[in-house]
Structure 1
């Protein structure tokens, strides 16, 4: 009750003050009619406080997000459902859901009177331009009586998470196999080995199906031998994301790093839909697998929160990939590289691997002086040439380029001697100045 009295509005306090003054005057003057008016003026705000104070502890609230994972720039719908679980009706309810700045201003909604055991729902939409994970809530509820004499505020502790993932672009289906791809399919493939079942026969183990016993080998060896399972072929791909802060330029949603994250998400979703078993690696130590159980969600949730790293370097990225190197397809989304760093990455290109680099000239995200830009372009061309000479397919990316228009170039094999010659000529001319 004390809290309800503290919630009296200016109108309610005015009624209470006027009633008190009228009551004193009625006592002094002996006016019974004035006393009746005074009692009414004092009773109204007290009854309003009692009414609102009892109703505020009998409300239940639930919140749902549809969807709970959205792309940057898309909208999500937030549905609030309030139920009056008491026997007393409420007054008008003023709702305010707390939102982070990235999701826009706080919505303020009005919910009319709720009767006993009655429920009602209100909805609003949010839109985020920046990827991340955001708390929606808690909900603040202001309740008033029909006369506006008392107003109380209640906050529900529950919050919900809205995940804003990078923008995912639809990509054209292209042939990504190199000269070492498996037969019968156009994609780079590697063998998926199940346990140790990678030969013709092995010793019998307890629990093996007796129908797998290979009697000829058993007779020859003198021990019970069983047939090994055949090795299924499956498409495998590894997506590398360069998170080094020194390799990227710009800030906010137009920064080069945001382009790289969006490109990584688009490529990952595209390859998953094409049937690849996907792995994502970053130089900051992340190593994620997209399985049938997790689907794209695990990768996209990670990309929603990934940030640039001050400690990352190319050598740690190469070591991370080599820990589970099993051939297949490697697609790297790279920022600026020195020629030495490019040679480190070039070592990932082996006989069983097809490597594609989206090599970003992140200096084009800045307005550099002509001389500085020319020097940066020469260094970028030298690093790209080092990747090309090792057998990588290099897609050079500049500010303003769109991934869907660049993606078909990933299928262009070795890209020809003309490209390498042109790159070498550019580097040579730059070095002779």
Structure 2
């Protein structure tokens, strides 16, 4: 518009036309006003992304509040073009106050918000300003958690012939570590070998041992995943792990959730409160990675090794067969949720592998999870076989 105003003024001077000169001055004033408007808008307009309502569960609409900050009355129309991770770009016209950006049926996952753009039109329709919106934060879509009325231990760990293995339930106090002696503490709490080694009195710290120590281990190896996002073998594995953790925690069991990333993530759930919410958020963000240390995670000394019961959710039963067979003994339970990954790629179910047959014969409870088969149904089939 500025170039047009200059052209009109030059023509008016050349022709000596007053009317053209007035028109050129008007166009120049309009161009100057548009530039001033754009400068004010760019300095006084921004957005803020806000969560709306409770946490989103997969399959439900993902709703994000977008609040305009600054002076929206300077614009005739404001459009936001924002990205929600791999879900792509969304467009929405913004109004003063808060507008809701909605994504239909979002799959489970963690989505990065932005970067985006604000397209702002001036009240006279003479100019449009494009403002960058930086990427800020992420949003989680949680998995659906199946309600399980039965668990592996309801049927007991059963080997060949249906022999049941009773579980030992730990209780009491276990050594947790050592610390410096505080005056007034009983001398029976002193750990004399450590005190002699350090040259100072050291006492043992004790913590309550779990009444029912259960470890649920989720395998996230990328090479074993089949199916599209939202309906993949990993998505069903995440739902299975979430269902098992919630069912055990609802029975007042002390649960450890281990996600087998290269740097394993371990969450302790003592009750269906904040601990459970954190674990559920971790499961929401779980994605396939390469080089998961599943076998070493199970064999490492530590909290998982001390668990009374361990349940592994994996599409690679051969990888963990030796470890689970070694754990299947009186007083300790081992179970496996075997993900039949090819069925998530449209293939028919295959016959039981030698690894699964070996595990079942050794007393490891095995439930096979296939595409379209809920975990509750797989556990019911396992219980029916055990009773039979």
TM-score, normalisation: structure 2: 0.76
Greater radius of gyration (CA): 1
Q: How does 1:331-410 map to 2 (within 5 A)?
A: 331-338=311-318, 342-365=321-344, 377=351, 380=353, 382-408=354-380
Q: Structure 1 residues 321, 308: CA separation in 2 closer, same or farther (over 3 Å shift)?
A: farther
Q: How does 1:161-240 map to 2 (within 5 A)?
A: 161-172=138-149, 176=153, 178=156, 180-181=166-167, 189-191=169-171, 193=173, 195=175, 206-207=182-183, 234-240=211-217
The Cα shift of 1:324 comes to 4.0
Alignment counterpart, residue 78 of structure 1, candidates 61, 64, 87: 64
1:255 aligns with 2:232: yes
Q: Distance in 2 between matches of 1:196 and 1:342?
A: 30
The Cα shift of 1:335 comes to 1.8
**1:153 corresponds to which residue?**
130
The C-alpha deviation readout for 1:202-261, integer Å capped at 9, x for no partner, is xxx635578x999xxxxxxxxxxxxx9896653321112233455554454433233222
Q: Classify the secondary structure of the residue corresponding to 2:267.
A: strand
Q: Structure 1 residues 22, 359: CA separation in 2 closer, same or farther (over 3 Å shift)?
A: closer
TM-score, normalisation: structure 1: 0.69
Alignment counterpart, residue 95 of structure 1, candidates 59, 74, 79: 79
Query: How many residue pairs align between the two structures?
Result: 360
The Cα shift of 1:312 comes to 3.8
**1:272 corresponds to which residue?**
249
The C-alpha deviation readout for 1:116-155, integer Å capped at 9, x for no partner, is xxx5222221245433321112442222322111222212
The C-alpha deviation readout for 1:337-383, integer Å capped at 9, x for no partner, is 34x852432112233222222223334445669xxx8xx625x1x32
| Unaligned stretches of 5+ residues in structure 2 | 157-164, 190-204
Q: CA RMSD in A?
A: 3.8
The Cα shift of 1:392 comes to 1.8
The answer to whether the 8 A contact 1:97-1:136 is kept is no
| Unaligned stretches of 5+ residues in structure 1 | 1-12, 112-118, 183-188, 198-204, 215-227, 419-433
